[in-house]
Amino acid sequence: MGPITVHESTGDDLLPEWMQTLEAPALEASPLEVPPPEAPTLEALVLQKTPGSSARWKGLGVAVSIVIAVVAIFVLAHALRHVDYQEVFAAIRSTKTGVVVLAFALVVSSYGSLTLYDLLALRTIGLIDIPYRIAALASFVSYPIAHGTGAVAVVSPIIRYRIYSLRGLGVVDVAKICFLTGLTFWLGNLTALGLSLLYEPSAISLIDYIMPAVNRMLAAAILLGIVAFLVWSWRAPRSIGTQRWSVRIPSGPVVLLQIAIGIFDLGAAALAMYVLIPPDLHIEFSRVVVVFIAATLLGFASHAPAGLGVFDAAIVLGLAGEDKEPILAALLIFRFLYHFLPFLAASCLFGIVEATRGFRAKASL
């Protein structure tokens, strides 16, 4: 083999920092041997992180998250100034048991579709030997805990790695799974947002302070972007990344399946919120969907635990009129069903997984 000439290229690593740290020693432990100069040259590309640009992007992200959280808390505090909390609790007590059971069933359906995120990602990268129950466990445990802590990009890969490593998966495999599950989430959310906003452009005007006509144009732009990505992925096998880390993009039909799963997940969650809203408020489902998606995305962008304050402010601002108490009652019930109960269940399951790992390690000594 000829000599290896190493060229450095700048760019942000696609792996989380903790994964980069795990892989770094392996790279440093492989010194390059240089044969005689007359031999042909083989060029290799090594991706090197630029600390300055990475720090700037992280700083900008933190600043945006703080601004969103502060503005949302201010808006929520202003909106709740004249709320009668006794009336809110009375509205919670008067909510029919059948309605709560229906909302809980829709929440279960939403989390059930989330398990398909991991299964689809595993199949896309060729890991067909991982059973559905493992994919379902990793998905269900990682999402509520990561979202509940507000550190999705850090907590979700760690939890998934702890579960998938028991099946022999490595850091790079888990990174690819996290990327593909995120892709499914964003494809579904943006498609649902575009379709519902195209139908009901005035639904989030109270949130983004943009005219309905402009919101409709934004919806069209979002949908055109989704279509462009679908066509791009359909025409030929695609992959992104570098020689060091590359992930295969799902084919066109699989992208359609990703969109369908994402829409179902989001639609079930939004419908759970919708059935908890009293019918006499006459709020259309399309409006609830638009506001719910906007509230969810703002909650993710704020990195607040479970979007606390941000999600709530968007829901109250987008759905509540003069009579805020019924919306707050529906929101509190939804929070309990969609965030608190899954977080509690996921924490218990993850505790069982870690305890089992510890028992097996002791037994092997």
Q: Do residues 347 and 298 share a domain? A: yes
DSSP letter at 320 equals -
Among candidate residues 295, 289, 286, the one with its CA nearest the CA of residue 317 = 295
Q: Which of 47-61, 76-90, 126-140 has the highest mean pLDDT?
A: 126-140
In a domain, 56, yes or no: no
H helical segments located in the chain: 17-28, 51-79, 85-94, 97-124, 132-149, 152-164, 171-199, 205-208, 212-235, 252-276, 285-302, 310-319, 325-335, 341-363
In a domain, 157, yes or no: yes
Helix axis angle, 341-363 to 132-149, nearest 10°: 120
Q: Do residues 281 and 180 share a domain? A: yes
For residue 195, is pLDDT > 80? Answer: yes
In a domain, 55, yes or no: no
Tell me the pLDDT band of 364, cut-offs 50, 70 and 90: confident
Q: Do residues 237 and 199 share a domain? A: yes
For residue 53, is pLDDT > 80? Answer: no
The type of residue at 315 is: I
Q: Do residues 19 and 73 share a domain? A: no
Own/partner pairs for 101-109, CB < 8 Å, 24+ apart?
102/275, 103/272, 103/273, 103/275, 103/276, 103/333, 103/334, 103/337, 104/272, 104/337, 106/268, 106/269, 106/271, 106/272, 106/275, 107/268, 107/269, 107/272, 107/337, 107/338, 107/341, 107/342, 109/264, 109/268
pLDDT digits (tens, 9 = 90+) for 152-167: 888 999 999 999 998 8
Q: Are 160 and 142 in contact (CB under 8 A)?
A: yes
3-state secondary structure of 365: coil
Q: Do residues 191 and 111 share a domain? A: yes
CA atoms within 13 A on the CB side of 184: 29
Q: Do residues 21 and 156 share a domain? A: no
Q: Do residues 170 and 249 share a domain? A: yes
Q: Do residues 43 and 71 share a domain? A: no
Tell me the pLDDT band of 330, cut-offs 50, 70 and 90: very high
Tell me the pLDDT band of 25, cut-offs 50, 70 and 90: very low
Q: Going by C-beta distance under 8 Å and a sequence separation of 6 or more, which residues neighbour residue 276?
A: 95, 99, 100, 103, 329, 330, 333, 334
In a domain, 61, yes or no: no
Please give the pLDDT value at position 106: 97
State CA 262 to chain mean position distance: 10
In a domain, 62, yes or no: no
Domain count, the chain: 2
Q: Do residues 37 and 139 share a domain? A: no
- Quote the CA–CA distance of 220 and 216 in Å, as a whole number: 6
Q: What backbone phi and psi angles, to 5 degrees, belong to 183?
A: -65, -45
Please report where in the chains the tokens 């699989």 appear, as a residue: 254
The type of residue at 19 is: M
In a domain, 165, yes or no: yes
pLDDT digits (tens, 9 = 90+) for 254-312: 889 989 998 999 999 999 999 999 998 888 888 898 889 888 888 887 778 878 888 88
CA distances from 73 to 83, 291, 304, 312 (A): 16, 17, 11, 9
DSSP 4-60: EEEEEEE---SS-HHHHHHHHHHHHT-PPP---TTSPPEEEEEEE--HHHHHHHHHH
Q: Do residues 21 and 71 share a domain? A: no
Please give the pLDDT value at position 51: 53
Q: Going by C-beta distance under 8 Å and a sequence separation of 6 or more, which residues neighbour residue 278?
A: 91, 326, 330
Among candidate residues 245, 242, 250, 238, the one with its CA nearest the CA of residue 180 = 250
Q: Going by C-beta distance under 8 Å and a sequence separation of 6 or more, which residues neighbour residue 90?
A: none
Burial of 187 (0-12, 13-18, 19+ CB in 10 A): buried
pLDDT digits (tens, 9 = 90+) for 62-102: 666 676 667 666 666 666 677 788 998 999 999 999 999 99
In a domain, 266, yes or no: yes
Q: Do residues 259 and 306 share a domain? A: yes
Q: Which of 31-35, 103-107, 115-119 has the highest mean pLDDT?
A: 103-107
What residues make up the domain containing 34?
A: 4-49
Q: Do residues 135 and 163 share a domain? A: yes
In a domain, 36, yes or no: yes
